[in-house]
């Protein structure tokens, strides 16, 4: 239908209405309309015509004719024509975006390498470029970076501003520069991404529309924060260059492992996401919690769960039912809200959004219980918060009631001790080592050379070893695993994690 209405493009309008009688004539020629007229006011035949006047008359007549043609169009034709032009504009913009994205990818696509069970990214030059956000207005450049981007110290930002790694409107400025509306803020960095699990991203299902993979723990689903190339989406995209369009259908917390569905088209991703939004999807997770939850819940234990939940959040509700096999199921309902956007921490609170989870006991081990969780809603950190609410947090989840490094082997604890000692050594070295962090980029110095020279990590040899040690000191995984998704008439499943097996250690 659109193709049929293309005949009325502006170019066609000009061609259709600008006939020979409306074109401006050359100097000395008589317009055809002047021969036919008998108006006494008409210019004599032998009068020298004005070229500018003829051109103006021709343009006016052409415009009038074009307007007459446009007026003859139906409302439907006008609407289709406007839609056609809008689609052309969108296509041009999309081509420009694709060209820019391809250029950026080609310019900086670092290599992966593996060491001691982790996946590392070769450090690379990265440019963060944005116009000032409204909440930044009136704040100094140094204060804004220190408060908004806490990954680096104020000393780092001072040096970056002095050297020109951070600029405002493409100029080196003072740390006390006040940010205003429309300011362009650019931060060039030599990025050392944190390492993530070196486990293979295994594909467990593929058809014409979707790809189903198992995400290792410690790996974010999307590029975010300090992670760009060490994100699941980027890793899978580089694994499968034959799939130019991959859309992650649902998110999974960085520390959580398990099933992630990627759609091969935007339309399929939208359809599946809508199923999840409409609560037409069924999800099953495994978690290992601290303490013992009995397989059969007696009245005393049920009262204990209700009382504990109410003590933690007065707006919570805990009820009990049985599944098809007759096993006891705990139904948790409690509103959740974001406590700290910067730290990505949530809490149970009466002012939050509704959330519901069903919990069933699978097995008791020495000091922990393996449970199966089915979230009815899909709030951030929902399962982790609901288990904490009941008084049985995920055993190694330090953010929500668990213990950092809970259940780690002797070998792993030794590695953690080495990491802690190494960090102390690095701290003393950084305090005394000379540095050239504030000298602006020199003539002939490439961006890579400049950023390596002014990079604190490179200067103090904080390479793979230091990154590895930092990872050892922090939480790299929790015992929460997305096991199964029932979605759009399909059942997708990945294997259980190793920590779900029976164990005498925990």
Domain segments of the chain: what residues? 2-77, 112-191, 201-277, 282-404+477-500
SS (H, E, C) 146-165: HHHCCCCCHHHHHHHHHHCC
Mean pLDDT lowest for which of 29-38, 66-75, 302-311, 387-396? Answer: 29-38
Token pair listed for 122: 């070769």
Most confident of the following: 23-37, 153-167, 300-314? 300-314
C-alpha–C-alpha distance, residues 224 and 230, integer Å: 10
pLDDT of residue 393: 96
pLDDT of residue 71: 58
Domain 282-404+477-500 fold is Pseudouridine synthase (3.30.2350)
Question: Which CATH superfamily does the domain covering 112-191 fall into?
Answer: RNA-binding S4 domain (3.10.290.10)
| Residue with token string 């009466």 | 350
- Interval 97-110 mean pLDDT: 55
Please state, in angstroms and as integers, the Cα–Cα distance from residue 278 to each residue in 266, 332, 356, following that order.
18, 20, 14
CB 386 within 8 A of CB 332: yes
Confidence band (pLDDT; 50, 70, 90) for 294? very high
**Helix, strand, or coil (residue 13):** helix
C-alpha–C-alpha distance, residues 403 and 479, integer Å: 12
Mean pLDDT lowest for which of 61-75, 156-170, 444-458? Answer: 61-75
Could you check whether 112-191 and 282-404+477-500 share the same CATH topology? no
CB 504 within 8 A of CB 367: no
C-alpha–C-alpha distance, residues 12 and 2, integer Å: 15
C-alpha–C-alpha distance, residues 168 and 172, integer Å: 7
CB 255 within 8 A of CB 273: no
pLDDT of residue 414: 65
CATH 3.90.25.10 at 201-277, yes or no:
no
Residue-wise pLDDT for 26-36, tens only, equals 444 444 433 33
Q: What is the pTM of this model?
A: 0.70
CB 62 within 8 A of CB 10: no
Q: Is the pLDDT of residue 484 over 90?
A: yes
Residues known to be catalytic? 253
């Amino acid at each position: 239908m659109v193709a049929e209405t293309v005949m009325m493009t502006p170019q066609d309008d000009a061609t259709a209405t600008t006939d020979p009688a409306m074109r401006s004539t050359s100097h000395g020629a008589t317009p055809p309309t002047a021969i036919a007229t008998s108006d006494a006011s008409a210019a004599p035949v032998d009068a020298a015509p004005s070229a500018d006047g003829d051109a103006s008359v021709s343009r006016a007549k052409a415009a009038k004719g074009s307007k007459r043609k446009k007026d003859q169009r139906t409302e439907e034709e006008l609407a289709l024509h406007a839609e056609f032009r809008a689609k052309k504009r969108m296509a041009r913009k999309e081509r420009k975006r694709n060209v820019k994205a391809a250029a950026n990818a080609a310019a900086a696509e670092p290599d992966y390498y593996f060491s001691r069970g982790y996946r590392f990214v070769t450090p690379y030059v990265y440019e963060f470029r944005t116009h000032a956000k409204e909440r930044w207005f009136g704040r100094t450049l140094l204060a804004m970076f220190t408060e908004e981007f806490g990954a680096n110290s104020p000393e780092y930002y001072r040096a970056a501003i002095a050297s020109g790694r951070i600029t405002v409107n493409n100029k080196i400025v003072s740390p006390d520069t006040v940010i205003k509306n429309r300011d362009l803020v650019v931060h060039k960095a030599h990025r050392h991404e944190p390492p993530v699990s070196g486990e293979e991203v295994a594909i467990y299902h593929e058809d014409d529309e979707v790809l189903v993979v198992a995400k290792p723990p410690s790996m974010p689903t999307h590029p975010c924060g300090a992670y760009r190339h060490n994100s699941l989406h980027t890793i899978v995209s580089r694994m499968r260059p034959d799939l130019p369009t991959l859309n992650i259908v649902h998110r999974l917390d960085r520390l959580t492992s398990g099933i992630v569905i990627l759609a091969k088209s935007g339309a399929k991703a939208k359809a599946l996401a809508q199923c999840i939004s409409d609560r037409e999807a069924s999800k099953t997770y495994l978690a290992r919690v601290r303490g013992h939850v009995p397989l059969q819940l007696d009245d005393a234990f049920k009262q204990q769960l209700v009382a504990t939940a109410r003590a933690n959040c007065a707006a919570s509700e805990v009820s009990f039912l049985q599944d098809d096999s007759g096993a006891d199921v705990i139904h948790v309902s409690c509103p959740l809200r974001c406590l700290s956007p910067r730290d990505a921490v949530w809490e149970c609170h009466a002012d939050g959004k509704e959330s519901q989870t069903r919990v069933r006991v699978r097995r008791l081990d020495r000091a922990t219980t393996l449970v199966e969780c089915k979230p009815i809603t899909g709030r951030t950190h929902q399962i982790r918060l609901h288990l904490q609410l009941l008084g049985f947090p995920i055993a190694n989840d330090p953010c929500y009631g668990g213990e950092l490094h809970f259940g780690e082997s002797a070998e792993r604890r030794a590695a953690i001790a080495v990491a802690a000692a190494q960090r102390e050594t690095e701290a003393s070295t950084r305090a005394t080592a000379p540095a050239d962090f504030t000298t602006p980029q020199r003539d002939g110095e490439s961006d890579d050379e400049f950023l390596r020279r002014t990079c604190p990590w490179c200067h103090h040899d904080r390479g793979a070893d230091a990154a590895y040690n930092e990872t050892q000191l922090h939480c790299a995984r929790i015992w929460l695993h997305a096991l199964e998704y029932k979605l759009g008439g399909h059942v997708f499943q990945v294997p259980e994690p190793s920590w779900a097996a029976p164990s005498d250690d925990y």
